Amino acid sequence: MWGIPVLDGRRILLVISGGIAAYKSLELIRRLKDRGADVRCILTGNASHFVTPLSVQTLSGNKVFDNTFSLTDEHEIGHITLARDCDLVVVAPATANLLAKMAHGLADDLASTALLVTDKPILVAPAMNFRMWGHPATAANMATLKGRGVHSVGPNAGMLAEGESGLGRMAEPAEILAAVESLLAAGPLKGIKALVTSGPTYEPIDPVRFIGNRSSGKQGHAIAAALARLGADVTLITGPVKLPDPANMRVIHVETAREMLGTALGCLPVDVAVCAAAVADWTVSNASKEKRKKDASGQPPPIELAANPDILATLSEKGSARPRLVVGFAAETEKLLEHARAKFVRKGCDWIVANDVSPHSGTFGGDFNTVHLLTQGGAEEWPRISKTDVAERLAWKIADTLKGHP
């Protein structure tokens, strides 16, 4: 089941600060409630410009506290009780301003006072302009907070509210939720070893040219992160990508398909292998150690191709080192299910995640995906959702399957 209520009875204090990403906090509240959590919320003065106290109260089912110390609130609960009568404090979004207050011990409103007085774990989800995130002051503040044991999730790279692109987007609600679950509950994948491949492979033609593909690695990296948040011991093997290494896992960088296969075999045994990498089917058998030149007539030199090793099929082979669950990906531009079913039979894996990567789909390099999950029981069609949500959904399905089949 996707969405097991593992937070039944756990009390979350959610601090919502003033940034455009505050709108995501409404979805986070809903997801926390769906997991069974009791959510209380503090809104900073600026946060109320982005989300209303009424919407937060309606979703949480609890009174919303703001940045004033009313006598009624102090009598009924008090800021110290509010900060300590919880299992976890979540700050989402965590602006540069609030992170600075936390790092320097300032307490000039209810939110910063509660954060200073709490004795419970704190999880922050930073959100700000990429220049603010990259500023040395913010970096120093985050280092200070992490040194004090404050946990963090994100930020992510992508388009920002100002129309610029960079590292500074608040983590998606699904990512924050999984981080909360990881902190408050023994993850359902605790004790499970997972191997994930991600990104493209580059097959050299010569020292400056290569054969590759358009894979960004976003889906594979998201799956690795989702498995880690559920408690798995994850090794991520990634081809060349422009993504930061996910936290809380071992990351190994490779370039070619042969390097990826050798590295994967060296990581065995594992319980689950998810082969999300877009591995080049061919390598250049006559690759040159020097830059290739056109001949005297201006014609390009011939390129000879040879088949690359099949990583998914190799990991799916029967034997003592075979993972209990092997999941492959089928990226197709036409006849999606027909080609995916053929690959499912041919590779010998347990599941295939089939996705449309035709130019109109926007899958390569994009943040959303539409997939079908093929298993021995048939095909499941998943709606178009973010790659983060695809990863979470797949991670929970893996958890359910491995728990049910030791």
Which range among 11-25, 146-160, 339-353 shows the weakest confidence by mean pLDDT?
A: 146-160
Q: In sequence order, which ranges of 252-386 are alpha helices (DSSP H)? A: 257-267, 311-316, 336-347
Give Cβ neighbours of residue 86 (< 8 Å, ≥ 6 apart). Answer: 11, 12, 13, 40, 118, 120
pLDDT one-digit tens code per residue, 300-338: 888 999 999 999 999 999 788 999 999 999 988 788 889
What's the confidence (pLDDT) of residue 385? 86
- Work out the percent of the chain whose per-residue pLDDT is above 70: 91
309 is known to lie in a ligand binding site:
yes
Q: In sequence order, which ranges of 107-217 are alpha helices (DSSP H)? A: 110-117, 130-134, 136-147, 173-184
343 is known to lie in a ligand binding site:
yes
312 is known to lie in a ligand binding site:
yes
What's the confidence (pLDDT) of residue 360? 67
What's the confidence (pLDDT) of residue 344? 94
Averaged pLDDT for residues 254-282: 96
What's the confidence (pLDDT) of residue 71? 42
Instruction: Delineate the domains of the chain, giving CATH numbers in brackets.
Output: 11-184 (3.40.50.1950), 193-404 (3.40.50.10300)
What's the confidence (pLDDT) of residue 106? 93
- Work out the percent of the chain whose per-residue pLDDT is above 90: 56
Residue 14 in contact with residue 42, Cβ under 8 Å?
Answer: yes
385 is known to lie in a ligand binding site:
no
What's the confidence (pLDDT) of residue 101? 95
242 is known to lie in a ligand binding site:
no
Q: Match 């509240």 to its residue by tokens.
A: 29
pLDDT one-digit tens code per residue, 352-368: 999 887 766 655 657 78
Dihedral sign computed on CA atoms, order 306, 308, 313, 314? positive
347 is known to lie in a ligand binding site:
yes
pLDDT one-digit tens code per residue, 163-185: 677 788 899 998 899 889 878 87
Residue of 173, 218, 198, 357 whose CA lies nearest to 274: 198
387 is known to lie in a ligand binding site:
no
Give the bridge partners for 162, in sequence order: none
Q: Is the pLDDT of residue 4 over 70?
A: no
Q: Which residue has the higher pLDDT, 51 or 366?
A: 51
Residues designated catalytic: 213
Dihedral sign computed on CA atoms, order 226, 227, 231, 235? negative
Give the bridge partners for 227, in sequence order: none
Q: Is the pLDDT of residue 386 over 60?
A: yes
Burial of 199 (0-12, 13-18, 19+ CB in 10 A): buried
329 is known to lie in a ligand binding site:
yes
What's the confidence (pLDDT) of residue 404? 59
Q: Which residue has the higher pLDDT, 377 or 76?
A: 377
Burial of 55 (0-12, 13-18, 19+ CB in 10 A): middle
Q: Which residue has the higher pLDDT, 82 or 3?
A: 82
Averaged pLDDT for residues 247-256: 93
Query: Could you tell me what percentage of the chain is helix, strand and coil, using 3-state DSSP and rounding each to the nearest 5?
Result: 35, 25, 40
d(CA 316, CA 313): 5
Averaged pLDDT for residues 248-255: 94
pLDDT one-digit tens code per residue, 76-127: 555 567 777 888 999 999 999 999 999 999 988 899 999 998 888 899 999 9
Q: Is the pLDDT of residue 39 over 90?
A: yes
What's the confidence (pLDDT) of residue 27? 94
Residue of 213, 281, 218 whose CA lies nearest to 244: 218
Structural tokens at position 168: 């500074």
d(CA 174, CA 389): 6
Q: Alpha-carbon Rg of the chain, whole angstroms? A: 24
What's the confidence (pLDDT) of residue 388? 85
Residue of 206, 184, 192 whose CA lies nearest to 13: 184
281 is known to lie in a ligand binding site:
yes
What's the confidence (pLDDT) of residue 136? 94
Average pLDDT of the residues of the chain:
88
